[in-house]
Amino acid sequence: MTPVLPAGIGSLTFSLDETGTPFLILFAFLWTISGLYAFATTPAGERARLFAYFVPSALGGVTVALAGDAISFYLCFALMAIPAWGLITHVGTPEARRAGAIYLTLTAIGEAALLAALVIMAVEADSLALPVLAEAIGTSPLRDIAVALLLASIGLKIGTLPASGFLPLSYTYTPAGAASALAGASAKVGALAMLRLLPAGVMPEEWAYVVMALGMATAFLAAILGTLTTTPRAVLGYSSASQMGLILVAAGVSLTSVEAAPLAYGAIVAFSLHHGLAKSALVLGDDVVSRLTGSARTAALAALALPVLALVGAPLTSGFVAKYALKDAVHALHGTVPEAVYALLPWTAIGTAALMLRFFALTRERTAETRVSSPRIPIALWSLVLAAVALVVWIWPAQWNVHAIESALSPSSMWTALWPGLIAIAGWMALRYAPRSAQRLTGIVPPGDVLLGLAAAVTAADRWLAGRSRSRGVTARDERADIGHSLRAAERSAVAWTAASTLFVLLVLLLVALGTR
Amino acid sequence: MNVLAQSPGLLVAVPLAGAAISFVAGRRRAPHVAITTALVVLTLAVALAVHVLDGGPFRYQVGGWGAPLGIDLVADGAAALFLVLTAIVGLVVTLYATAYFRTDDETAYGHGLFWTLWLFMWTSLNALFLTGDVFNVYVCLELVGISAVTLVTIGGGAEALRAGARYLFASMLGAMTYLLGVALLYAATGQLDMDVLRTTLVADTTAATGLALMIAALVLKTALVPAHFWLPAAHGSAPSPVSAVLSSLVVKGSYFVILRLMLDVMPAGYLPGVDIVLGVLGSAAIVWGSVQALLQTRIKQLVAYSTVAQIGYLFLVFPLARHGADVLTLALTGVLVHALSHGLAKGSLFLGAGSLMTRFGHDRIADMAGAARSAPALTFGVALAGVTMMGLPPSGGFGAKWLLVSAALASGEWWWAVVLVIGGLLAAAYMFRLLSVLLVDAPTELHASKGDIRTEWLPLALALGAVLLVLAIPLVSDLAAASNVLIHAGVTP
Amino acid sequence: MTAWLPMLVPAIAGIATFALGKSRGRARNVVNLAAAAISIALVARLVVHAYNGTVISSTIPMLPGLGLGMSADLLGLLFATVATVLWGVTLVYAIGYMDHATDRARFFGFFALCIAAANGVALADDPLSLFIFYEILSLTTYPLVVHTGTPEALAAGRKYLFYALGGGAALLVGVAWLAVIAGQTPFTPGGALAAVSDRTAELRVIFALLVAGFGVKAALMPLHGWLPGAMVAPAPVSSLLHAVAVVKAGVFGIIRLVNELYGPELATSLGVATPLAILAAVSIIIASVIALRQDDFKRRLAYSTIAQLSYITLGTALCSPLAAAGALAHLAHHAVMKITMFFTAGSVYETLHVKKVSQMPGLARRMPLTMASFAVAAFALAGIPPLVGFASKWMLGVGSAQSGSVWALIVYVSSGALALGYMVPILTSALREGDHTPARGAESDPRMLWPIVTVGVLTVVLGLTAGLPGSPVHWAMTAIAPSFGGWTP
């Protein structure tokens, strides 16, 4: 039997390697904390239903970091993504259901693309082991289609344009604990897939440029959409999309350059760790704030500043280091596009800063809800995440880290990190004096943007089709009745005496004429 | 003298004697006479078939005079098949009739007269299958026609009388036309014996006209579209045992004569184009008859139109016969199997229809729901007969369709195959229109079956025969090889 | 003679069931279950023989120059095994399901006859024999489709017949034509038509006719119209016939046609394989999309069946060894998955009268074991590893990529995505709180429950053991290998 065939569960390999370790730690930490948070904040009667989805999702979400071959990777990928649907639709409102439907559709498409890519890679490599797969596809004639499929799958997972609404949709209606896991861990599987599956340094430059451009476009556009959306959770979703756009830039770098690939990989890991923790902290923080009143609320809002600053990339935060790593990677490439991207990178921080301001404002406005459970356990869990946000990059022993941290401490880089935030704050201030019509713009983007339109179009087409097939059935029946009537009439006249005799005489004449021809 | 060699004569003499005895035996004993006669005739028919299989076709001289003075009977494989078919259906119908006509009313259905007429018609049919002389064919046709018309009207009633009148008209018109044809043929050739005609027939307008008239007359008697105007009324309104005999046997009699004239007596291409016309009319019959069957609301009308359609298949052999020995063999075997399977299945359907009408007290298909529950054997019989009508495997109808389709494809004239296939589908359509009603589970109060299993099981027996015929195809094939058509075509050495 | 027995035993059981009549229910159950057990044993013995290289076959003469032949080769035995084993399981289920139904004698009688016909199709040695059993299958299924006798059932039955007989007609012409040009052509791995391979035009037309014939039961679009309507039949009928025996007879015919009548090589060189593949691919996508729109539970399953059957057709039409083997394995795998689902549909209808997906909230609590089995089957159908559906989908995908047909691979994975789309909503609907919540844990009749659990477990076990010798995957590769001479799995 060739190795391209699955030999059942026994053939699945799970192993821990250098690439997987940071992800394993991140995923395990976030899924555990989120699970505990969800358990603590979910009413007892709903727990079973929520955890029916949460447990398999977490299982897949953590073990995916250990998957060592194509099939186990796909298995974990699917195991995490599909049950997450139940988390999104948990509240059962029509909006949540619609969000779930869109989520499931895109997830299913992403899964399909991933499976197709894996199959092609397995065939080309004649093996199932992940490292072999990425290597073999680089020299295969099917390279382009495989990479395109991989990018499509990854792009859907991380909410790249035009699917920028994917992440906001998946966070907005999900209960906080589960949303924290989705926000922190789920999209990072896309980052892991970049490291595991994308071939390094084999694609033509154009490929890398397109991917980088797409990443940058997502980073900017998602930020704009996010500032115009309605709920704190949706803002966070767009922020994730924007940040993951930056990760995609790093992936683009790795595609074309062997030399820059290690740097790019470093950036991807750094971004994943930083963003995963920070975003989780924000989601939980938003929920914690809504449970508190008075001074506790003020304190919580203040603590929220930590992940906010990290995301903006303020000096001495994890985001600062991650962004530096990314810049390093882009800088290693030469050419018009990489240089333009390099120049534009700091400007993305303005968008992030604007998003964070908007988030902060929305969270502050949230009315406190009365909850049955005591907020103590949620606060404790949140604090753990906050601590992780503060410390992670500083204690992480890795090559990229050392270099990035060294550079990060220089004054010039500090300034680079600061000015976008200042511009955003200035803009925010200026907006207060802006005309009312401009202010009304905030809130015009529903979470999900174009995806909602697409979904509505599909529903409308479906209704139209259903209506058409019904009306067609009726006319067919009438026609049948008419035909039957005229056939009966024809036979009645054919068997009448005169007609019958005439027909017979004609038959005789015909036969005689033929016979004596 | 070998008794097997005497079977042709006995096949005519025995039913004739039976008819005479039943006439004098009286109402009570007539059925026993008929059953005995039927059993003997069946034995004789089988004996004749065995004899033909062993030694090939043979001539039998009635009274020992030879042609052209005496009456010669010709027994070949094809005739043997029709005789056996007639004997089997005849026996079953006789048994069925003993139950169907059993009533305490002495005058109903002309009682004793039925048995006499029926045995007399059987005599004429056997003679028709065996005669080797075109004039004697006329005589037999007349006798069959007169007894058939009488049998149609035996049940009385205005509808039956109208149908009988129509039938009588068609029968007389056919007989006169045929006789005119024979006269012309005789004028031109001076011959009436088919064997002699086969060797002496030359191109001649008078002879050709005569033969064309004879074919036209036989087409009318076989009720090929568009000359089918009399059949649905006659077969639909006769008492069911009579319908069964008319539909499964009587139309085959005149068809058998066409078969002999077209493929055996006339040299190839003698009436150019007629073979194609017959094929086209056959195709038209398949489609038109089936469509009309589909539109009928009364059960026996449906079955009668089904006969109109099924007759069409028999005529497809003529255009196919032009394509060489292999195709001819396939096509001839095909129509013979079809004649057999249709004979058995149509007998079953008419007997089954009769039983259903008795049990329901009416003949409206739409109101026959629930039959499957109350009369399972009967419904099953109708269903099996339907299977063979549709030509679905495993059944005799399937064998016939297979052979004819193969012949059409082998000839290169694939359109005949299309007609065959469409015919099968239309047959399925009308049969399932009936069956889907019978199968509906509805609470029904049926009339008791008079405590007699004959009306329930005999249709099933005939249908089973039609289905199992598929296993006997090698045998039919052997008998077809022993037919004069194939022997004279040089297929069989 | 042994090769006839898997067909004859159920046939005899069917006739015996009719003979026993309506009143002797216990005897009827005993006869049927015993027949199933005997058939399984007989098939098992034939499998052992075939694995050891002895193919038992026998032919009786029927039409001039043509015989009716049965041959117990590995390919046919795979189908026969699926049909026979699942017949046994379904019988238990059906005895529970039909507990209060009328006309049970008729039901079980025709049920057994259907299996007899399916086994006949499986083991038929040549096109004519296959055609004959194929038509018998059409006929014996009809009474089951219209079993309830409602106007709806009758309409569905009419439609079924229209399609089945139409397809049968095309098949008849095709088979007859083949016999005219090539005589008796017993199925031969790699193709049986080498002698007449130069008559390309005729062979193309015949291929089209045969595909039209088999395509009806294989529900290849646009010949699929009968299948969704036929779901009005009682659940055991839908389960066994519309997931296992009838529809599989169609795809099995296509497998025989491509691999063992024409042979992959001739099918490719005639250019007939690719159009078939495209037709199948279109069917997969369209049927999956339609399935998304169905609220009626069984109809949704029906459209899913249409898509899954075309998986098999597509895999076969690719004429690549691994895809062909995957197709054959999927024949078995899909049977197990889909029968689980139809059992579930029957159970929830019979127990709670739930027919629509939207009526399902609360079901997961009310019938946890049933719905858990369903969930496993649903994920298996979407091709989630390590369940059974993944193994065959993976083979089909790899086979597509190996033959250079990346488009086919894309079709497979897209359809997997669509399968998620129509399966997951069923599960979530059932998991929601709803009408059926209060009476928690009240499962259906044990005679229905345990068959469901059995086949549900089978979807897991067969998935986990897919790589082991004797699994359908392994079996399929062994059976397909000779058609691709020189290919070793």
Alpha-carbon gap: A119 to the closest alpha carbon of chain C (Å): 6
Interface of A with C in 53-82 (CB under 8 A): 71-72, 74-75, 78-79, 82
What is the rounded distance in angstroms from the CA atom of residue B256 to the CA atom of residue C345?
58
pLDDT above 80 (res A430):
no
Identify whether the C-beta of residue A322 lies closer than 8 Å to the C-beta of residue A389.
no
Task: Report DSSP letters for B111-176, one per residue.
Answer: THHHHHHHHHHHHHHHHHHHB-BHHHHHHHHHHHHHHHHHHHGGG-SHHHHHHHHHHHHHHHHHHH
**A147-151 contacts, C-beta under 8 A, 24 or more apart:** A147/A117, A147/A198, A147/A199, A147/A203, A147/A207, A147/A255, A149/A113, A149/A114, A149/A116, A149/A117, A149/A120, A150/A113, A150/A114, A150/A117, A150/A193, A150/A197, A150/A198, A151/A198, A151/A211
CA distance to B82, B84, B283, B398, C282, per residue, from B90 (Å): 12, 9, 29, 24, 56
- Per-10-residue mean pLDDT of chain B, 493 residues long, equals 76 92 84 92 93 88 62 89 95 89 58 84 94 90 92 83 88 92 91 88 87 92 88 87 91 93 87 89 93 90 93 92 88 94 94 88 84 82 90 87 90 89 89 83 62 81 91 90 87 78
Residue in B closest to C152 by C-alpha: B440
| C-alpha span between B155 and B146 (Å, rounded) | 16
Of the candidates C420, C424, C467, the beta carbon closest to that of A7 is on: C467
CA–CA gap between residue C118 and residue C140 (Å, rounded): 10
Instruction: Pick A516's closest partner by Cβ from B209, B227, B228.
Output: B209
pLDDT confidence of residue A368: 63
Distance between CA atoms of residues A269 and A261, nearest Å = 12
More confident residue, B120 or A161: B120
Residue A407 is predicted with a pLDDT of 67
Say if CB B89 and CB B347 are below 8 A apart: yes
Q: Check residue C50 and give its pLDDT.
A: 85
Could you tell me whether strands B58-61 and C56-63 are parallel, antiparallel, or unpaired per DSSP bridges? unpaired
Residue A116 forms contact with C (CB below 8 Å): yes
The answer to whether the Cβ–Cβ distance between C413 and A120 falls below 8 Å is no
Pairwise CB contact (< 8 Å): C132 & B372: no
C434: closest CA of chain B, how far (Å): 36
B491 vs C: CB within 8 A: no
User: A466 — contact with chain C (CB < 8 Å)?
Assistant: yes
Contact flag A512-B212 (C-beta cutoff 8 Å): yes
Q: What would the pLDDT profile of A370-426 be if each residue is shown by its tens digit?
A: 555 567 888 888 888 888 888 877 776 565 556 666 666 677 777 777 777 778 777
Mutate to test the interface with A, among B295, B306, B308 (most CBs of A within 10 A): B295
In DSSP terms, B193 is beta-bridged to B133
Determine which of A324-333, A435-444, C165-174, C480-489 has the lowest per-residue pLDDT on average. Answer: A435-444
Q: Which two tokens stand for residue B341?
A: 């399977």
What does the CA dihedral A245, A247, A248, A253 come to, rounded to 10 degrees?
A: 140
CA separation, residue C155 to residues B3, B302, C82, C224, C229 (Å) = 58, 20, 30, 16, 8
The CA distance from A158 to the nearest CA of chain C, in Å, is 18
pLDDT tens readout for residues A225-270: 888 887 888 888 888 888 888 888 888 888 888 888 888 888 888 8
Q: State the pLDDT at residue B140.
A: 92
CB proximity B81 to C under 8 Å:
no
The encoded tokens of residue A137 equal: 């596809």
- Kindly tell me if the per-residue pLDDT of C366 is higher than 60: yes
Q: DSSP string of B365-385?
A: GGG-TTHHHH-HHHHHHHHHH
State pLDDT tens for residues C45-98: 888 888 888 888 888 877 777 788 888 888 889 999 999 988 888 888 888 777
Question: Is B55 touching C (CB cutoff 8 A)?
Answer: no
Distance of CA C345 to CAs B233, B309, C158, C374, Å? Answer: 51, 44, 24, 9
What is the distance between the alpha carbons of residues B245 and B227, in angstroms, rounded to a whole number? 20
Contact A511 B274 (CB under 8 A): yes
- Does A75 sit within 8 Å of C420, measured CB to CB? no
Interface of B with A (CB under 8 A): 166, 169, 173, 177, 205, 208-209, 211-213, 215-216, 219-220, 226-230, 232-233, 270-274, 277, 288, 291-292, 295
Residue written as token pair 């997951």: C424
Q: Please report which helix (H) or strand (E) contains residue C67, including its range.
A: strand C66-72
Q: How far apart are CA B366 and CA C319, in angstroms?
A: 51
Contact A514 B209 (CB under 8 A): no
In chain C, the residue whose alpha carbon lies closest to the alpha carbon of B337 is: C63
The verdict on A214 touching C (C-beta cutoff 8 Å) is no
Report how far residue B322's alpha carbon sits from residue B271's, in angstroms, rounded to the nearest whole number. Answer: 12
On chain B, the residues whose CB falls within 8 A of the CB of A517 are 272-273
Smallest CA–CA distance, residue A158 to chain B, in Å, is: 57
Alpha-carbon torsion (A145, A149, A155, A158), positive or negative: negative
By the CB < 8 Å criterion, does C106 face chain B?
A: yes
Which residues in chain C are closer than 8 Å to A12, comparing Cβ atoms?
385-386
For the segment C257-270, the average pLDDT, to the nearest whole number, is 88
Q: Give the phi and the psi of residue B199 in degrees, each rounded to 5.
A: -90, -20
Q: What H or E segment, with its residue span, contains residue B322? A: none
Of the partner residues B211, B272, B295, the one whose CB lies closest to the CB of residue A488 = B295
Highest mean pLDDT among A110-119, B137-146, C284-293, C370-379: B137-146
Cα gap B78→B334, rounded to integer Å: 12
Report, as an integer, the average pLDDT of C304-323.
Answer: 90
Alpha carbons A245 and A275: distance in angstroms, whole number: 12
Host domain of residue C408? 272-489
pLDDT of residue A2: 44
pLDDT of residue C439: 56
Q: Give the minimum alpha-carbon distance from B178 to chain A in angstroms, rounded to a whole number.
A: 11
Q: Is the peptide bond before B68 cis (omega within 30 degrees of 0)?
A: yes
Residues 6+ apart with CB under 8 A from C222: none
Looking at the partner chain, which of C61, C63, C180 has a beta carbon nearest the beta carbon of B410? C180
pTM of the model: 0.84
Per the CB < 8 A criterion, the answer to whether B328 and B320 are in contact is yes
Is C154 in the B-facing interface, judged by CB distances under 8 Å?
A: yes
Bridge partners of residue C67, in order along the sequence: C61
- Do C173 and B474 make contact, defined as CB atoms within 8 angstroms? no
pLDDT of A4:
45
Q: Is C159 an interface residue toward B (CB < 8 Å)?
A: no
Rg, Å, chain C Cα set: 21
CB pairs A-C closer than 8 Å: 118
Instruction: Determine phi and psi for C424, rounding to 5 degrees.
Output: -60, -40
Fill in the amino acid letter for B109.
Y
Distance CA B170, CA B234 (A): 11
- Quickly count: other Cβ atoms within 10 Å of residue C470's Cβ: 11
- Span A7-35, mean pLDDT? 80
Cα gap C338→C458, rounded to integer Å = 12
Chain C CA closest to residue B436: C154
Chain C contact for A49 (CB, 8 A cutoff)? yes
Average pLDDT, rounded, for chain C: 84
Give the count of alpha carbons within 13 A of C277, CB side only. Answer: 27
A11 shares contact with chain C (CB less than 8 Å): yes
CB atoms within 10 A of CB A427: 15
Nearest to C413 among A49, A112, A465 (CB): A112
Rounded CA-CA distance C122/C251 in Å is: 11
Both tokens of A22, joined, read 């940071």
Instruction: Tell me whether residue C238 is in a domain.
Output: no
What ipTM does the predicted assembly reach?
0.84
Kindly tell me if the per-residue pLDDT of C438 is higher than 60: no
User: The tokens of B480 are what?
Assistant: 């077809």
C135 CB near a chain B CB, below 8 Å? Answer: yes
